[in-house]
Every structure is written in C-alpha cells, then in structure tokens.
Amino acid sequence: MQGYIHPGYADSLMEFGTPHPLPLSRGCILERQIPGSSLCDAMGCYPLFCCKNWDGFYEDVQALGRDKDLVSLALVVDPFGGQTFADLQRCFDVVIPFKEHYVADLQRPLDEIVSRRHSRKVRRALRTVQVHASNKPYEFLDEWVDLYRNLIDRHGITGIKAFSEEAFVKQLSLPGAYMLRASLDGVTIGAKIYYLQGDVVHCHLGAVSPKGYEVGAFYALDCFALEYFADKARWHNLGGGSGFSNERNNGLCQYKRGWATETRTCYFCGKIFDERSYVELISNKAIAPTTYFPAYRKGEFG
C-alpha cells in the first residue's frame, strides 16, 4: 500500500471530499456534497484512481450502488491497472479515452529512451545543476511548498491541483514517496515528487524556480529519474498533457514524448447510481446537452 494506493493519499484530499475506502479493491474514493443540493456523489482521487486489487473493483462499484446514497461516481483509471476497455464498459456507463500518458520502459538503455534534443539540453543543464535523491521528501517540505507556489503563480493553478501545504504534509510522508531535488550553488531550484508502486514509478508533481527554468533544471531532474529508478521499477509514468486536452502536440506533451518509449491510454469513467436524481439535477441547473460527466457539475474544474 504505497503512493496513490495508500489511504493517506485520499486523506490528503479531504478538503475536497470525505474519503470512502473500497474494501475489496482496497482503493479509495471521495464523497462530495453536490452544490445546491442535499445529495452526494463521489469522485476518484486526483490525478488517478489506483487500487491494490482490480479483481474486486467491479464488486466495489456495484456495492456503492446498493449501499450508498450516491448519485454518481467519476474517476480516471490508472493506466497500469491491467483492466481492458471491455472490463471498464462492464463496470461503468461512461468510458472515454481521457489522456495519453507518456511512459518509459526502464529496461531500455538510456540512449534509446531520451531524444537527441533532450540529451543536448541535459548535457547543458548538468554543467551547473546537481541532482539529489531522497526517500524522505517530508524533510524538504518548506522548499517544496515554495517551489510549488511558484508553479501555481506561473500557471494560475486553482482547485484540487493547487494542493495545500496541509495536503503536502501528508503526501510527502507516504510510503513509496521519493523526491529528486535540483540545486545550483547549494540552492534548491527545482524538485519532483514520485510514487513507487510495484513495478511502476509515477511522476506525481514537479516544480522549479525562475532560475530553474533558466538553467534547464527539469532536464537534469528527468534524466536523473530514468537512471535512479531503473533498478527500482520497470515503468516510469510521466503522465499526460496539461488540462483536459488529449492534444498530443501541446508543449508539455512534446516535452514528455522526449523521455518516453510508448504511451498508455488513461480512461475517464462515469457511473450513474440514481438516474432520477441525476436527471433532476441537470434540469434544476438548466444544463445544456453536454458530454461532461457528471453533467450537473459542468465547469467545476474550469
């Protein structure tokens, strides 16, 4: 029970919902009150729903429909869960490709993974940047919070993605958590948080200072990660593009492609438990026809 699977990760998101453990799959979802209503629904933890036992997931979802007073459930499924598209369709009413996650096979030689363009930038960055690894990232909480605040200001991040300091206190203390730190002249200018789960290491978050952008700290960090985790995991999941777009040509996707050997599709899944309440909520909120799920929450994430 490490990283996203650990109950402590769901606890770190308590300001956005009440954690509800799923007993058979040993995953966790967040129950939320629906604005303007006495009703509740549930969502998976951001950014991915992960669980220990996918064989029990279907039964957990069915039990939610029987035992909990929920209108719907929405989540993004771990692309390393092993479930097929047909498996998800059997469990959910809505199953759509959400994002392509860029993945590196860590059994491949480094020069087969990293693009030539990225390799040049790595060499330039490593002339001045040093990278250090720690499996006790909570020791660098204050540095990390400062770096992430810079990311929030730079990109105008709000909502669940703008993790609070209280959330980071829990996330940096989870089993399986690692931090890679980039420094220049003894000053930390960038860092990335990782969660090691079985044979996969997930890149959770990354942030650098203005000086870090200037000297290419991300290039030094990402190259170091491929070497550092090569004897700890088979797969390195760099995640997908920004926002809700599956557009492969945006800048972040192009950057991540330079560290990847393949992609894996992340699916967004939705389940309606209470059809009548679902329809009434849409009607009461005068929601126009939309592919957003759940429709009555359209626009909540910008």
Residue 85: CB partners within 8 Å, gap ≥ 6?
95, 267
- Residue 67: pLDDT band (50, 70, 90) is confident
Least-confidence region, from 54-58, 244-248, 272-276: 244-248
pLDDT computed for residue 5 by the predictor: 96
pLDDT at 249: 62
Nearest to 27 by CA among 123, 114, 91, 120: 91
Q: What is the mean pLDDT of residues 276-296?
A: 94
- Residue 302 resides in a domain: no
Say what the pLDDT of residue 59 is.
94
Mean pLDDT of 288-294: 93
Q: Which two tokens stand for residue 98?
A: 């959400």
Q: Is pLDDT at 228 greater than 90 in this prediction?
A: yes
From the list 119, 165, 124, the residue with the least C-alpha distance to 145 is 165
Residue at a domain's end among 233, 250, 280: 233
Q: What's residue 137's pLDDT?
A: 97
Phi, psi (rounded to 5 degrees) for 186: 80, 0
Q: Is residue 225 part of a domain?
A: yes
Amino acid residing at 148: Y
Q: On the CB side of 183, how many CA atoms lie within 13 Å of its CA?
A: 13
Most distant CA atoms of the chain, gap in Å: 62
- pLDDT score recorded for residue 247: 59
pLDDT confidence bin for 250, thresholds 50/70/90: confident
What CATH code is carried by the domain that includes residue 208? 3.40.630.30
pLDDT at 245 over 60: no
115 and 93: one domain?
no
Q: Are residues 283 and 204 in the same domain?
A: no
Q: For residue 230, what pLDDT is reported?
A: 98
- Same domain? For 112 and 187 the reply is yes
Task: Verify that 139 and 40 share a domain, yes or no.
Answer: no
Q: Are residues 136 and 224 in the same domain?
A: yes
Residue 176 shares a structural domain with residue 85: no
Its domain, for residue 198, covers 108-233
Dihedral angle sign, alpha carbons of residues 280, 285, 290, 293: negative
Percent pLDDT > 90 in the chain is 89
Q: Are 181 and 138 found together in one domain?
A: yes
Q: H or E segment at 149?
A: helix 141-155
* Domain tally, the chain: 2
Residue 55 and residue 89 in one domain: yes
In a domain, 242, yes or no: no
Do residue 126 and residue 82 come from a single domain?
Answer: no
Name the 3-class secondary structure at 43: strand
In a domain, 256, yes or no: no
- pLDDT digit string (tens) for 72-127? 999 999 999 988 999 999 999 999 999 999 999 999 999 999 999 999 999 999 99
15 and 94 co-located in one domain? yes
Instruction: Return the residue matching tokens 């059994």.
Output: 107
Does some domain include residue 138? yes
Chosen domain end from 183, 207, 233: 233
pLDDT at 1: 87
Q: Do residue 84 and residue 19 come from a single domain?
A: yes
Tens digit of pLDDT for each residue in 155-188?
Answer: 999 999 999 999 999 999 999 999 999 999 999 9
pLDDT for 301 equals 72
User: What is the number of alpha carbons within 13 Å of residue 213 lying toward its C-beta?
Assistant: 7
Tell whether 258 is covered by a domain. no
Q: What confidence category does residue 135 fall into, taking pLDDT thresholds of 50, 70 and 90?
A: very high
Domain check: are 112 and 204 in the same one? yes
Position 112 in a domain: yes
- 240 within domain boundaries: no
Last residue of a domain, one of 233, 257, 282: 233
